[in-house]
A and B are shown apart, each in its own frame.
Chain A
Amino acid sequence: MPKHYRPAGKKKEGNAARYSTRSQALKLLQVNTKLFRKLCIYKGIFPREPKKKFKGNHHTYYHLKDVAFLRHDPILEELRAKSSYLKKVTKAKAKKNRELADSLLKRQPEIKLDRLVIERYPHFIDAIRDLDDPLTMVHLFAALPATDRMKIEVKRVHNCRKLSHEWQAYIARSHKLRKVFISVKGIYYQAEVEGQTITWLTPHGLQQVLPDDDVVYDVLLTFLEFYETLLAFVNFKLYHSINVKYPPILDPKLEASAAELYALSRYFDANSRKNSDQVEETQLEESELRLAQLQRQLPSNEAGALMQLVKGAADENEEDEDTKECKNFFKNMKFFLSREVPRESLLFVIPAFGGIVSWEGEGAPFNEADQSITHQIVDRPTQGHIYLSREYVQPQWVFDCINARIILPTEAYLVGRVPPPHLSPFIDNEEEGYVPDYAETIKRLKAAAKNEILPMPGAGVEDLDDPQNLLAEGYISRTEAIEAAERKQKMMTLEKQYRDELKMELQVTQSSALDTNKQSSGEDMEAREESLPDIQQIANDTANMSKVLMSSKKRGLYEAMKKGQERKKAHVDLLKERKKKIDEGKKSKKN
């Protein structure tokens, strides 16, 4: 802590003793803002919020423990050494000693962030949990153009590309992808690794815009530096877990033809074939060893417990249900990508769900003429030569199928048509309060598909006899619709009844009042007219009644929540209104 004058007997206490503002921290560490920023980003230090902000609201506060944590880290020294080394380079350049400057630059000390990675993420699961931002960033930089002005080097862009492909290859290989969503911003992928859901965004594969004014590229690059290291280690661990050597060695021919992902998967295949024998052996050995150990530990009569343990160990190797489903989702399907289709994304997604895929171009495993192709993905308005043995669909079909987890009918996705709306798989429609039409149809199809596989007992026999069995989907959907309509009707009638009853009650009370009052019957009419809004009033009153007793804090909370709900409802109402207008427009057009 700095020695500074404090009046005798006056100790610094409370928040002022525990926190420091940003400028105080800078002074403490004797660094400039740039270095401080770098330190914070590497070490993952973030400002904290003291209960009382002793310097006012417009300061950033760091906890003194955090500052001390920065101060004792060797990276601080390393960074300082590097900056002083770079001074030598600038000096050499200023003296026009190009040679020296170059050689100095070549030999500059390299700062390794390995230690920081393990320090920040002592467990693998922690690293996995925090992987969203690194993945998004790395995927973004993989798509950025290398420019000198922004200091985005070619090397780094390539590294990012490599890392992202490695990650995708692992995810595809282990069938961990769960959801995909094409948004305007890019393609969102969601995978489940080690029980953690990881979502990342990849930009659309086009020329990216590098804004000049609003973005400080230094910050981005510093983050990227850490993320690259982190992701490389994570990839290493993941590859290790499936017995594949990291870094992978790729077929240069495929790499050159920009099919790195495919090259990676080939690499996997080759490796696994080589390793499979070994792996089995080692596994066997391991389990035997474990058995022996356990037998020694346990009393001999507890054979049952032992069996359980072995079973558990065996179960660990197996994949969970979801992964199995994903693995077999596109099984027995062969895809072919036409030229204009976003290849990278589909080459990642289709194998991740167990499909076989090829493309038009060099190094492709099979070409368009292959008769066993079941689906060809086309994204142009017309298709020239048509093979009758396969279906021609737009790329959205693949993504919608994956999100719905059923193979959707392809009619709506045929070439040249405007595909049905693409819905976000991350949204819970019920919670949102508004269910788009297409979500409804998908739900129905899903239910139908389930029924087909597992026919209901009793109903199954009928279904078999039913001539309409072929149209099971339509049939089921119809019955469901009818059911829903019935339910709705019932609800309506119930509500009506309730209203009527309420009205009756009110009339009774009023009439009784009239009896005693014996006044003119003009009032009666008025009361009847008013009766309808009165019901609402009463309902409101009862709702508000207990609000009176709330403490002001709770009332504030309650009102805030209500406001939020109302906003949500307003949004839903807006959607409904638009929908209604659109429907009306359609109807009028038809007529």
Chain B
Amino acid sequence: MRAGKTVSVEATSPKKKKNNNNDKKKKKQNQTEKKDDQNLLKKTTESANSVQTENDASLKIQELEQQQQNTTQELAATDSDSDSDYQVFSEDEVSEDYESLRESEDGESESSGDEVHGSDDDVNNDNDDGHEDQSDGSESHQGIEESDSSEDEVAPRNTIGDVPLEWYKDEKHIGYDISGKKITKKERQDKLASFLASVDDSKNWRKIYDEYNDEDVELTKEETKIIRRLLKGKAPHADFDPYADYVDWFKYEDSLHPLSNAPEPKRRFIPSKWESKKVLRYVRAIRKGLIKFDEPKEEEPRFYLMWGDDSSTAEKANRLSYIPAPKSKLPGHEESYNPSLEYIPTQEELNSYQLMYDEDRPKFIPKRFTSFRSIPSYENAVKESFERCMDLYLCPRVRKKRINIDPETLKPKLPSRKDLKPYPATCYLEYKGHKGAVMSISTEASGQWIASGSTDGTVRIWEVESGRCLRVWEIGEPVHCVAWNPSPELPVLAASAGQDVVLLNTGFGNEEDQKRVGELLQVETHTASDDSDNMASIVSWLQDDKLGGIRLRHFKTVTSVDWHRRGDYLSTVMPADILFSVHLIFIVFVYSFLSMDHVFHPTRSIFFVSTKKTIRVYDLLKQKLIKKLETGLREVSSIAIHPAGDNVIVGSREGKLCWFDMDLSSKPYRILKCHPKDITNVAFHRSYPLFASCSDDGTAYVFHGMVYSDLNQNPLIVPLEILRGHTSSNGRGVMDCKFHPRQPWLFTAGADSTIKLFCH
């Protein structure tokens, strides 16, 4: 054993100094050591139990393992030892036994030896240790001799060596004897028989089956004794004394060549100075209290009455107000461990949750447990607690006023509708006859007749009271717009169809009027055609005998026609880009821009034109722009002017209605979002404080729009009624709405080819 140690010592010490070749060496060492150890082991064990064969496996293996552990421990110990104390032996001091081992490491140890020999102290040390080691070596030598003596008592019959016995499992022999002949297996006894035999045999407990040699071995009394001792962990032989006094075989004093002849150093006899210093330092530190011993500390009462007197107001801290965190939501019925059955989602609902997005999925799915004991622990408890903590620490806190009111109270209080009567509320009459969508209607100044134009290419005149169709003109092209001349003396109807504007003689009025109209339509065609040479490219005047009127042919499609209040002027819109304002006799002027709708001021010579987003207001006399109204809408569709002339309403394609107070500002006074679809037209009543809008959604709204003469008072707008009745076709609903000039009645023209009259 010690031999191995010494070897390792020699080998490892140079390692420390030479790091470069250290790995290789270490491996080698370990190998050699192991071999050595194993040899030794074998010998010792065999010596201990000469008869015991290798198949006394359990004992042996145990021992082997123990031994190996010991050696490894020692190995580690030697490593560390060599670091601290041991130094290298010089070559001549190495005992002969290990020369073979040393051969492999000669070179290294030599080099290390050279290095070490430098200092005298080292040599001294070496000498001391060398003595010890030698003695150790001799001891181990003894041990080996002993084991040798007891080795060759019984040779194993089988010679297969240390191979797994499984290899011979299927063979008929168990191995070979010393002369190379097969050793055949014994015949197996029947188990029952063997058992019976064993029961009968009183010495059965001593018998051991040796698998290796395939034979039964009977242990002698001595052998059993040895086994017992081994089991107890004692030395196998009773007469072996493990704790014998150490006999030092070497005599240092009297030997001729002592390992070290140095006299005992002084330091062996005097107490260490450094130790005393260290002790002193500790003592001082303890006295100063730097080193404290862990005495059980007196627990001071940590808590005290913090809020002693609450009445004392703490001084106002100069910091921001503390906003307490909102409390977590209290649980509802569905969080109960045993909720009512209706709170538990059905299987289909559960399946539908799977299809949802994570955000939409309900966070908590109610579950039902029939008894208290069956509630499991909640798996998200820690997670939810953590989330709450994160909220407390990371969420910005803001004081927000929460409105806890009935949403109905948000609605503005409207004056009672009964007080604002009369207004059109119910459908009174329907005018049927058109084949296509009625695009436009116009009321006659007296209110007795209405004219309508439709996509079926006809213009019809109806009697308001009875709903009778009085006259029909076949224009041929879809009629976009009809407009009755506002002056009662000139019962002329303008209708736009395609590129033409047709002026029609309605044949109403007394004979004088009739005569005048006839002359007008006759005479002026000629003069017009003469006068407007320069404008011929834009408008051409033609006589239409079939319809009994004149045709004003434009070079583009005309969508809208409007008369001046006196009936002298007529304006048309070609949405492409040009607008005319045309006298009955000659063209007055031309604007050139994109326009949507247009209208004349009811009293003054002012003209309103709507572009896509703005309303432009022109003075006709000065022929210049006065004002521009910003609607803020996406696309303006229609425009109407209050009879007093200071208020304008504008309908838009997005269903919004703007009320402009011209005196107030160029921004809308109020925006009403009433229709979900395009507003097609808006209209003011001439005398009643009413206005209306109609839309593609098939409804028309009637509003009360009171304008006060007092400038300080803002106009009062009250929605009165939603008029339904028209069905939408092709996505178009109500195309036009017009008020009766005297009565609070509303005419609506629908895309379903009917005209309706709503009365109060």
Contact = CB atoms under 8 A, between A and B. Distances in A.
B719 A186 contact: no
Nearest to B429: A517
Contact of A215 (B339, B382, B720): B382
A565 B674 contact: no
A347 interface: no
A136 B324 contact: no
B337 A422 contact: yes
A548 B673 contact: yes
Contacts of B471: none
A473 interface: no
A48 B398 contact: yes
Contact of B719 (A118, A232, A549, A558): A549
A555 interface: yes
A374 to B, nearest CB: 20
A203 B378 contact: yes
A203 B323 CA distance: 28
Contacts of A219: 386, 389-390, 393
A210 B325 CA distance: 26
A474 B724 CA distance: 55
Given A106-B294, A123-B314, A513-B428, A46 B306 contact: no
Nearest to B400: A49
A223 B392 contact: yes
A69 interface: yes
A114 B307 CA distance: 11
B411 A550 contact: yes
Contact of B310 (A123, A516, A546): A123
Contacts of A240: 305
A380 B378 contact: no
Interface in B15-53: none
Given A46-B397, A545-B722, A575-B343, A124 B412 contact: no
B102 to A, nearest CB: 36
B149 to A, nearest CB: 49
A144 B382 contact: yes
A182 B314 CA distance: 40
A578 B333 contact: no
Interface in B390-411: 390, 392-398, 403, 407, 410-411
B371 A394 contact: yes
Interface in A356-402: 379-380, 394-396
A61 B395 CA distance: 10
Nearest to B345: A578
Nearest to A194: B310
Contacts of B389: 137, 219-220, 223
B392 A124 contact: no
A69 B319 CA distance: 7
A170 interface: no
A209 B372 contact: no
A65 B320 contact: yes
Interface in A177-200: 181-186, 188, 199
- The DSSP consensus for interface residues of chain B is loop
B100 interface: no
A509 B373 CA distance: 69
Interface residues of B, number: 90
A541 B721 CA distance: 8
Interface in B180-217: none
Interface stretch (A37-45, A279-287, A300-308, A328-336): A37-45
Contacts of A40: 393
A107 interface: yes
B717 interface: yes
B376 A183 contact: no
A207 B378 CA distance: 10
Given A133-B388, A517-B467, A211 B382 contact: yes
Contacts of A436: 333, 340, 342
B324 A423 contact: no
A255 to B, nearest CB: 17
Interface in B311-366: 314, 317, 319-320, 322-325, 327-328, 330-333, 335-344, 346, 366
Contact of A47 (B319, B338, B395, B724): B395
Contacts of B58: none
A549 B671 CA distance: 8
Nearest to A107: B292
Interface size class of A (residues with CB under 8 A): 35 or more
A379 B371 contact: yes
Contacts of B396: 46-49, 60-61
A344 to B, nearest CB: 13
A130 interface: yes
B366 to A, nearest CB: 8
Interface string A421-438: 111101100001000111
A486 B430 CA distance: 47
Given A183-B336, A215-B382, A548-B674, A558 B411 contact: yes
Interface string B651-680: 000000000000000000011111000000
Counting chain B CB atoms within 10 Å of each CB, which of A127, A379, A549 scores highest?
A: A549
A231 to B, nearest CB: 10
Contact of A427 (B294, B333, B671, B721): B333
A401 B373 CA distance: 19
Contacts of A236: 303-306
A498 interface: no
Contacts of A206: 376-377
Interface in A513-571: 513, 516-517, 519, 537, 541, 544-550, 552, 554-555, 557-558, 561-562, 565
Contacts of B333: 421, 423-424, 427, 436
Interface in A152-183: 181-183
Contact of B403 (A183, A519, A546, A557): A557
B370 interface: yes
A219 B393 CA distance: 9
A47 B597 CA distance: 55
Counting chain B CB atoms within 10 Å of each CB, which of A106, A203, A565 scores highest?
A: A203
Nearest to A124: B307
Nearest to A50: B396
B298 to A, nearest CB: 15
B338 A419 contact: yes
Contacts of B403: 557
Contacts of B674: 548
Contact of A66 (B319, B331, B407, B467): B319
A209 B382 contact: yes
B385 A422 contact: no
Contact of A209 (B327, B375, B381): B381
A578 B390 contact: no
A579 interface: yes
Interface of A: 37, 40-41, 44, 46-49, 60-61, 63, 65-66, 69, 106-107, 114, 117-125, 127, 129-130, 132-133, 136-137, 140, 144, 181-186, 188, 199, 203-204, 206-211, 214-216, 219-220, 223, 232-233, 235-237, 240, 246-247, 340-342, 379-380, 394-396, 418-419, 421-424, 426-427, 432, 436-438, 509, 513, 516-517, 519, 537, 541, 544-550, 552, 554-555, 557-558, 561-562, 565, 575-576, 578-579, 582
Given A232-B303, A379-B372, 16 more contacts: A60-B396, A65-B319, A127-B307, A137-B385, A184-B367, A188-B331, A203-B377, A203-B378, A206-B377, A208-B381, A220-B386, A233-B307, A421-B338, A421-B339, A421-B341, A436-B342
17 contacts: A44-B322, A47-B396, A48-B320, A49-B398, A60-B396, A125-B310, A136-B388, A181-B336, A184-B336, A184-B375, A203-B381, A204-B378, A208-B377, A379-B371, A395-B372, A509-B426, A582-B342
Interface of B: 292, 294, 301-307, 310, 314, 317, 319-320, 322-325, 327-328, 330-333, 335-344, 346, 366-367, 369-373, 375-386, 388-390, 392-398, 403, 407, 410-414, 426-430, 467, 670-674, 701, 717-722, 724
Nearest 10 A-B pairs (CB), nearest first? A122-B314, A426-B330, A124-B307, A206-B377, A561-B407, A579-B342, A421-B340, A578-B342, A546-B411, A47-B396
